[in-house]
């Protein structure tokens, strides 16, 4: 293989799809580096990794130096290595780098809290089922915090939603 850019021996085959059109390039390491294509990225995750790397570079500009030198206690991955590759080493990395990851995730998703999505084939009342679960968690917190008026309001909301889910019938359960 010969580099499409400079004619030297190519070491990287780069496949890119833009607007449904696939383009294949043979590149040497130097030309690939000049285009921002690295060997550490998963072949199918290119656009996603590039997007994440852009956010990481932006986030790293105002990061404290000690954060960039931290490492995961489980796998030993350094934060600097994560920034370079865009990949975490293990599940513990999320905890180890939580302070640094939270703003990054918030910037990408608009929130750092996962709410999930409702599948298109889900039952019609899937949203109300999710709301009942959320209200039950709130009710539990209100009872633990001895906020009994709030707990009574939440209980009533839960009953209302559950009766609507069951077709309006009240079976007398509490």
Paired residues of 2 in beta bridges: 9
Reduced to 3 states, what is the DSSP secondary structure of residue 159? helix
> Which is nearest to 56 in space by CA: 117, 97, 10, 7?
97
Sequence ranges of the domains in the chain: 1-39, 43-115, 126-165
Contact 92, 75 (CB under 8 A): yes
pLDDT of residue 44: 44
User: Which tops the pLDDT comparison, 143 or 170?
Assistant: 143
Paired residues of 18 in beta bridges: 21
Model confidence band, residue 156 (pLDDT cutoffs 50, 70, 90): very high
pLDDT of residue 46: 55
User: Which tops the pLDDT comparison, 139 or 43?
Assistant: 139
Say what percent of the chain tops pLDDT 70: 66
pLDDT of residue 54: 61
Rounded average pLDDT over 87-109: 82
Buried/exposed code over 11-21 (b: 16+ C-beta within 10 A; e: otherwise): ebebeeeeeee
pLDDT tops 80 at residue 121: no
Paired residues of 24 in beta bridges: 15
pLDDT tops 80 at residue 137: yes
């Amino acid at each position: 293989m010969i580099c499409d850019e400079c004619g030297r021996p190519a070491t990287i085959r780069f496949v890119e799809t833009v607007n449904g059109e696939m383009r294949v390039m043979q590149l040497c390491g130097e030309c690939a580096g000049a285009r921002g294509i690295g060997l550490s990225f998963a072949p199918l995750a290119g656009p996603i990794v590039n997007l994440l790397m852009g956010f990481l570079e932006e986030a790293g500009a105002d990061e404290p130096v000690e954060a960039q030198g931290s490492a995961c206690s489980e796998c030993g991955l350094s934060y600097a290595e994560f920034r370079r590759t865009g990949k975490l080493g293990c599940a513990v990395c999320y905890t180890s780098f939580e302070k640094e990851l939270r703003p990054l995730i918030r910037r990408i998703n608009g929130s750092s809290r996962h709410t999930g999505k409702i599948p298109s084939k889900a039952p019609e009342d899937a949203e109300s089922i999710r709301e009942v679960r959320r209200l039950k968690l709130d009710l539990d917190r209100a009872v633990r915090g001895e906020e009994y008026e709030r707990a009574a309001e939440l209980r009533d909301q839960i009953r209302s939603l559950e009766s609507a889910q069951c077709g309006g019938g009240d079976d007398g359960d509490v």
